[in-house]
Structure 1
């Protein structure tokens, strides 16, 4: 800033004499010209010198250039190769990727459902993790609020894709139980592991988070429980006006109301009350900490979008094989379908969220952890489940909110336990351990649970 002051003082005292011009030259060399320049001059500089970077652009290669404005085919090939190296070969979990194609080969030549299910399950794990990575890279260009929404949306993409394929086959109970299991795993297992790991790292003090955000999410989860409870009670007590039809009509009406409520929640979060979602430990120096902690993206915005499309398509392919093998795997491995749907499938789908939530907790960023775990559960309960009901409605498949009393009671108790854990706005490793043990009880319960609506009694396939 001394050069700038010298520049302006010389301008005022010497009336733009030669001395001021000399200072202008020095200022241009040291700090960059203070005067606006024509667009063609910048374009020429970008073609001559590769060292110019814009402050608004991430310091990385463009999708269509080699980083210096070179749009040649060789530069494009180098960019594609670098992108593949970063996305495909940078994570050790990607060693599981070959299991996906292997599942297709086993299905074509042997047809052993148990192996197809297991290999598909292992093949989806790295894809779900990479999907979360690509979403985080894209979130670097959209800002923290929209980025959190993108993380929650694409974090649940695996479960929604599996659910749609199951709906096409008329496997309603698999859809219901897998979505229920996603909520339970996020609220108990993911949040529990995050609290436990963060509590061990910061064992000498309690970690804190924004209680207001947790309270809003808990209220939405209780609303979702209410939406699931009434159709289940109506069916169990046989008090519906038209048996077998009233609960379906009520489920579709309730689903529409829940979708409207979720849309209002998004507006509340993104537009109306943005200050409510500022982390509690960053309320005063929020802007400074964002600039200090902001990580530079490793791939460009368009690369992130392309990778999201590729990974989503590949997950869709493997999900079809996974869903088709569920029944055979249940028989071959002697594991109840309810356990597969509620425990195994959600753990695979939440692999990326699980790792991310734990890492954020270990960095003392519990507000982001809650946004991942509780935010994902809120989105599944208020958007994922009603969305599947509406999609089933369009397909002619009688998907409803009657999750049976056992599953609905499990969800209700889980929401209450987590709400009590969050009411103080603090966490420690003991709370995390309690949540993990609660999830262990839930898993054991579904292992011995006999579904009253067996998967073999599924309705006919919808006409598409």
Structure 2
């Protein structure tokens, strides 16, 4: 990730010196991947220093900050359809690509993995609501062909406000009233990790040549440092997003792909790459609870917070954006939620279920590639 940070100076050097826009786009994309990773780390450190309630709120707010920043910059540039496509892409990539890879790779290493079915069912219910909310404006538009653009925009704004309200209540549920459902396993994992760190080194113990010495853990940076780091990283992500969007149209022409494919497939992978890697890595350590928490939690944040916020921001920026998605996008979202709910309902996973999710993502990706 530190090597990928070289994309920051390279992208701006290329922009100022007139390099090939495709190369600038690539450098900016690599920089966003690295910056998103470090933003996630800064958010986690702030959460650890501020306690479970405030920390959970910070995590819930900044967990998808990269996607939100890219969406705002793209929206300001007037690429509304790309923003809507990226919302669809973020949802299906988290549900199918990330969860699928986690189940598949974790299932190859472990015959069967388990996670809390009660949390999975709760997430499924919330995602069902999100699907209804995202589909409804499109259904109303198809049902009433005479419905004006202003009415569609007002309907989308009202739905966005409801979704943000629901998101706030889900935070109250997970951080306060039913926090035990979400924290008990995290506490156990922390205890096991601490015990592993303090356990004798079996290699040194066998050699008997070096005595075991327990040293104090290194002193952690303070809250002020991480807040400044988060602020600086946010500014850098915004600047790199500007370069990403400014070279987007040239890259689309060079690669001969549509803006829909770019928004649904490529942009979500760029913005979520670090988070995707985390979910897959912990699944291969047999921590499917944490893996599902990352992938499904990110999906709910996109559907209930980021997407509605972009609709409201469009009204402010003078770039009206609504929830009137295309038919294939609606089918993709509905199929993704339905399939994930189906394979996660029993609280157990294996490699075949992961393969089914990945195959569905591949089929949808092919469909978006050919769709104009």
Which range, TM-score by smaller chain? 0.7 to 0.9
For 2:66 and 2:109, how far apart are their aligned partners in 1?
31
| Counterpart residue number, 2:213 | none
For 2:120 and 2:96, how far apart are their aligned partners in 1?
15
| Counterpart residue number, 2:356 | 434
* 1:342 aligns to 2:242 (yes or no): no
For 1:140 and 1:230, how far apart are their aligned partners in 2?
39
| Preserved contact between residue 185 and residue 347 of structure 1 (Cα < 8 Å) | yes
| Counterpart residue number, 2:12 | 104
Question: CA deviation digits over 1:123-151, x for unaligned, max 9?
Answer: 21111112222222233324456555544
Q: How does 1:196-345 map to 2 (within 5 A)?
A: 196-203=104-111, 206-237=112-143, 239=144, 242-278=147-183, 282=185, 289-294=189-194, 299-345=221-267
Residue 98 of structure 1, CA deviation: 1.5
* 1:164 aligns to 2:72 (yes or no): yes
CA RMSD of aligned residues (A): 2.1
Residue 191 of structure 1, CA deviation: 1.0
Residue 298 of structure 1, CA deviation: 5.1
For 1:369 and 1:146, how far apart are their aligned partners in 2?
22
For 2:319 and 2:156, how far apart are their aligned partners in 1?
13
| Counterpart residue number, 1:356 | 278
Residue 400 of structure 1, CA deviation: 0.5
Question: CA deviation digits over 1:195-225, x for unaligned, max 9?
Answer: 122212222xx21111111111111111111
| Counterpart residue number, 1:82 | none
Change in CA separation of 1:357 and 1:289 when aligned onto 2, cut-off 3 Å: closer
TM-score normalised by length of structure 2: 0.88
Change in CA separation of 1:301 and 1:291 when aligned onto 2, cut-off 3 Å: farther
Match among 339, 362, 373 for residue 295 of structure 2: 373
**1:94 counterpart SS class:** coil
How many residues align? The count is 350
Residue 240 of structure 1, CA deviation: 5.4
For 1:401 and 1:378, how far apart are their aligned partners in 2?
16
Change in CA separation of 1:159 and 1:132 when aligned onto 2, cut-off 3 Å: same
**2:49 counterpart SS class:** coil
Residue 287 of structure 1, CA deviation: 5.2
> Higher relative contact order by CA 8 Å / sep ≥ 6: 1 or 2?
2
TM-score normalised by length of structure 1: 0.71
Change in CA separation of 1:311 and 1:119 when aligned onto 2, cut-off 3 Å: same
| Counterpart residue number, 1:17 | none
| Counterpart residue number, 2:204 | none
Q: Flag the structure with higher helix content.
A: 2
Q: How does 1:65-80 map to 2 (within 5 A)?
A: none
Residue 439 of structure 1, CA deviation: 1.3
Q: How does 1:63-212 map to 2 (within 5 A)?
A: 93-110=1-18, 112-143=20-51, 147=55, 150-203=58-111, 206-212=112-118
In structure 1, runs of 5+ residues without a counterpart are 1-92, 451-464
| Counterpart residue number, 1:448 | 370
For 1:228 and 1:340, how far apart are their aligned partners in 2?
20
In structure 2, runs of 5+ residues without a counterpart are 198-216
